[in-house]
């Protein structure tokens, strides 16, 4: 055997010995290790929410024969950590699942009692606190004249507000048993002012008069009037209010004021319109061809220039009327020395002025015995009467035509007889309507006749030529100056005159 063969054999033996030692070492290591066989007891992890209103557990089961959890022991441990209000049934159930080998997470084991917040007292206002703005439907008006401000109005007995008293809250308790206090509720108060009363329930505020409801701080009141502290114009828009209105300034050109009750303007009305449901007072003048005043009651104004006044009640002008038009369902009085210079004055009973016309013989009409509203009703009723009479004549002609052709109506078909019956029923209804309209016309005409009998035009100063006096449609033209005179309807049906009375 050669020397080389001996070296190779030595290396192989050395390699085999190394392998044997490595294997033996690994066997020793593996036999000394019991992998995965460590004993682990069951455990838990507690987490309390930031607001301390709930506590939660994560439960981990025992391993390799470790000790299980005892739910009574766990409850005692949690109690010793300061937790209160523990949910023992949930804890026991979670522990049973954990001991069976489950990892149980996010188990709520305690809950606090949340606080109930207090409810502050409050007042529920039942009307809009701001005025309602809209645009007039007339597209031809400039935009700045179309703004309409409608002011809220209430009637006696309308509900205005309801008081909701404060409700106290309830303190809470966290999971550690510590109290969570709540603040006491804030009380509010609402005092009834003028025009407001409280019902027996001590909570409901109602209006005791008509007007504009106003919440002024802690006081609720109803103002009998709505007050515009300056002019009615671009800054205010057109004003609408179901109650009374007071305007401390003027009513500017193009704007309007509509009041459901009374209206008082401390300035003037300049090419503007005002309207009210009762009495109207204008301390200044009504000036401009487009200026108008309409009232269902009386009207009092300082002077009138080129404007128009329509009133169901008496009209009084303190100074003069220049080329204006006044229509009254009662009487018209012009007090100032300049009197009525041009234009038209119409009243149902009396026109009483200081002077009429002018030395320039400007055309002036003073008329009595005519009610513009009665006259309008008469015209409408007469139009209705014409329509009814025309329908009656058509029905009569139809029935007459049938009667001339058919002597025995029973011989006609049933549907034709039914139609003829309907025509006859309509005819009878039209005849009744004709009688009713004629009766109403007679009443209105009698009203005009009785007014005409007492109709009087009185001029305390001078009546200039160019003045026309009309009593119940009968006219008299003044050709020469006259003074201190009254005009009325004489027994001959003509307008006559006598001393001022």
| For residues 309-333, average pLDDT | 94
Residue 64 token pair = 């390799």
Can you give the pLDDT at residue 155? Answer: 84
Q: Chain-wide mean pLDDT for the chain?
A: 84
Asked, for residue 210, whether it belongs to a domain, the answer is yes
Q: Is residue 36's pLDDT more than 50?
A: no
pLDDT in tens, 430-472: 888 889 999 988 888 777 666 555 689 999 999 999 999 998 8
What DSSP assignment string belongs to 260-284? SS-EEESS-EES-EEEESS-EEEEE
Both 262 and 191 in one domain: the answer is: no
With cut-offs at 50, 70 and 90, classify the pLDDT of residue 142. Answer: low
Q: How far is CA 302 from the centre of its chain?
A: 36
Question: From CA 329, how far away is CA 299, in angstroms rounded?
Answer: 11
Determine contact, residues 115/172, Cβ cutoff 8 Å.
yes
Sheet containing strand 191-192, edge to edge, reads: 191-192, 219-223, 212-216
Asked, for residue 63, whether it belongs to a domain, the answer is yes
pLDDT in tens, 363-394: 999 999 877 777 778 888 889 889 988 888 88
Determine contact, residues 255/240, Cβ cutoff 8 Å.
no
Express as a percent the part of the chain with pLDDT over 90. Answer: 36
Runs of H (alpha helix) within 66-168: 71-80, 88-99, 143-146
| For residues 203-213, average pLDDT | 87
Asked, for residue 189, whether it belongs to a domain, the answer is yes
37 Cβ contact partners less than 8 Å away, ≥ 6 residues apart: 64
Residue 102 token pair = 């489950």
Asked, for residue 133, whether it belongs to a domain, the answer is yes
Both 76 and 52 in one domain: the answer is: yes
Q: Of 91, 111, 131, which closes a domain?
A: 111
With cut-offs at 50, 70 and 90, classify the pLDDT of residue 222. Answer: confident
Q: Which residues of 426-443 are buried (b: 16+ CB within 10 A; e: fewer)?
A: ebeebeebbeebeeebee
Both 435 and 395 in one domain: the answer is: yes
Can you give the pLDDT at residue 238? Answer: 87
Q: How many domains does the chain have?
A: 4
| For residues 260-269, average pLDDT | 90
Q: Is residue 144's pLDDT more than 50?
A: no
Asked, for residue 32, whether it belongs to a domain, the answer is no
| For residues 115-125, average pLDDT | 88
Q: Of 175, 201, 223, which closes a domain?
A: 223
Both 244 and 302 in one domain: the answer is: yes
Can you give the pLDDT at residue 461? Answer: 93
pLDDT in tens, 413-426: 777 767 777 877 88
| For residues 132-155, average pLDDT | 57
Can you give the pLDDT at residue 280? Answer: 92
Asked, for residue 464, whether it belongs to a domain, the answer is no
Q: Is residue 149's pLDDT more than 80?
A: no
Asked, for residue 16, whether it belongs to a domain, the answer is no
| For residues 7-31, average pLDDT | 61
Both 93 and 162 in one domain: the answer is: no
Q: Is residue 102's pLDDT more than 50?
A: yes
Residue 49 phi, psi (nearest 5) = -65, 160
Residue 170 phi, psi (nearest 5) = -135, 130
Can you give the pLDDT at residue 353? Answer: 96
Can you give the pLDDT at residue 291? Answer: 96
Residue 26 token pair = 């690994």
Both 148 and 233 in one domain: the answer is: no
Residue length of the chain: 501
Question: From CA 210, how far away is CA 195, in angstroms rounded?
Answer: 8
Q: Is residue 67's pLDDT more than 90?
A: no
Range of the domain at 252: 227-313
Residue 319 phi, psi (nearest 5) = -115, -70
Can you give the pLDDT at residue 21? Answer: 67
416 Cβ contact partners less than 8 Å away, ≥ 6 residues apart: none
Can you give the pLDDT at residue 32? Answer: 47
With cut-offs at 50, 70 and 90, classify the pLDDT of residue 33. Answer: very low
Question: From CA 143, how far away is CA 160, in angstroms rounded?
Answer: 34
Determine contact, residues 271/254, Cβ cutoff 8 Å.
yes
- Which of 230-244, 393-407, 414-428 shows the lowest mean pLDDT across its residues? 393-407
Both 147 and 100 in one domain: the answer is: no
Both 129 and 208 in one domain: the answer is: yes
| For residues 111-135, average pLDDT | 78
Q: Is residue 275's pLDDT more than 80?
A: yes
| For residues 36-50, average pLDDT | 82
Ramachandran category for residue 13: left, alpha or beta (phi over 0 → left; psi -120 to 50 → alpha)? alpha
Can you give the pLDDT at residue 34? Answer: 46
Determine contact, residues 261/246, Cβ cutoff 8 Å.
no
Can you give the pLDDT at residue 427? Answer: 81
Q: Of 111, 135, 156, which closes a domain?
A: 111
Can you give the pLDDT at residue 326? Answer: 96
Among positive and negative, which fits the CA dihedral 424, 430, 435, 438? Answer: negative
Task: Tell me whether strands 299-305 and 273-276 are parallel, antiparallel or unpaired.
Answer: unpaired
Both 61 and 143 in one domain: the answer is: no
Which H or E run includes 403? helix 372-405
Both 213 and 271 in one domain: the answer is: no
Both 244 and 266 in one domain: the answer is: yes
In the chain, the largest separation of any two C-alpha atoms, in whole Å, equals: 185
Can you give the pLDDT at residue 19? Answer: 62
With cut-offs at 50, 70 and 90, classify the pLDDT of residue 2. Answer: low
| For residues 239-245, average pLDDT | 84
Can you give the pLDDT at residue 143? Answer: 47
What DSSP assignment string belongs to 305-318? EB-EEEESS-EEES
Both 243 and 217 in one domain: the answer is: no
Q: What angle do CA 440, 444, 447 make, to 5 degrees?
A: 145
Q: Is residue 35's pLDDT more than 50?
A: no
């Amino acid at each position: 055997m050669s020397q080389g063969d001996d070296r190779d054999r030595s290396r192989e033996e050395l390699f085999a010995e190394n392998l044997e030692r490595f294997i033996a070492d690994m066997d020793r290591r593996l036999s000394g290790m019991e992998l995965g066989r460590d004993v682990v007891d069951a455990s838990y992890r507690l987490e309390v929410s930031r607001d301390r209103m709930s506590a939660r557990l994560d439960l981990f089961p025992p391993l390799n024969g470790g000790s299980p959890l005892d739910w009574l022991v766990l409850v005692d441990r949690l109690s010793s950590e300061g937790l209160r209000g523990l949910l023992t049934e949930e804890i026991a159930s979670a522990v049973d699942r954990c001991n069976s080998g489950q990892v149980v997470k996010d188990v709520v084991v305690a809950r606090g009692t949340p606080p109930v917040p207090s409810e502050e007292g409050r007042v529920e206002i039942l009307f809009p606190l701001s005025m309602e703005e809209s645009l007039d439907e007339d597209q031809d008006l400039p935009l700045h004249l179309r703004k309409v401000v409608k002011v809220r109005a209430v009637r006696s007995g309308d509900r205005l507000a309801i008081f909701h008293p404060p409700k106290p809250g309830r303190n809470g308790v966290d999971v550690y048993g510590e109290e969570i206090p709540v603040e006491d509720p804030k009380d509010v108060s609402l005092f009834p002012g003028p025009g407001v009363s409280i019902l027996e329930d001590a909570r409901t505020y109602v209006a005791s008069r008509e007007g504009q409801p106003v919440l002024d701080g802690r006081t609720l009141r109803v103002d009998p009037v709505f007050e515009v502290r300056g002019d009615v114009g671009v800054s205010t828009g057109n004003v609408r209010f179901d109650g009374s209105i007071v305007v401390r300034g003027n009513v500017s050109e193009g704007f309007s004021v509509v009041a459901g009750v009374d209206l008082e303007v401390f300035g003037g009305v300049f090419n503007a319109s005002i309207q009210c449901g009762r009495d109207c007072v204008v301390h200044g003048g009504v000036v401009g061809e487009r200026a108008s005043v309409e009232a269902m009651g009386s009207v009092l104004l300082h002077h009138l220039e080129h404007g128009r006044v329509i009133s169901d009640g008496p009209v009084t002008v303190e100074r003069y009327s220049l080329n204006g038009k006044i229509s009254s369902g009662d009487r018209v009085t012009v007090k100032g020395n300049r009197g009525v210079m041009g234009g038209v004055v119409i009243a149902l009973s009396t026109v009483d002025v200081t002077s009429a016309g002018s030395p320039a013989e400007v055309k002036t009409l003073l008329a009595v015995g005519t009610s513009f509203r009665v006259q309008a009703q008469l015209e409408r009723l007469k139009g209705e009467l014409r329509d009814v009479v025309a329908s009656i004549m058509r029905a009569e002609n139809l029935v007459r035509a049938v009667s001339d052709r058919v002597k025995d109506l029973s011989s006609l078909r049933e549907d034709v007889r039914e139609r003829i019956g309907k025509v006859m029923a309509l005819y009878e209804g039209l005849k009744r309507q004709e009688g009713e309209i004629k009766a109403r016309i007679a009443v209105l005409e009698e009203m005009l006749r009785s007014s005409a009998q007492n109709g009087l035009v009185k001029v305390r100063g001078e009546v200039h030529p160019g003045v026309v006096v009309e009593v119940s449609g009968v006219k008299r033209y003044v050709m020469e100056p006259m003074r201190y005179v009254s005009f009325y309807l004489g027994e001959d049906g003509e307008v006559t005159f006598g001393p001022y009375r």
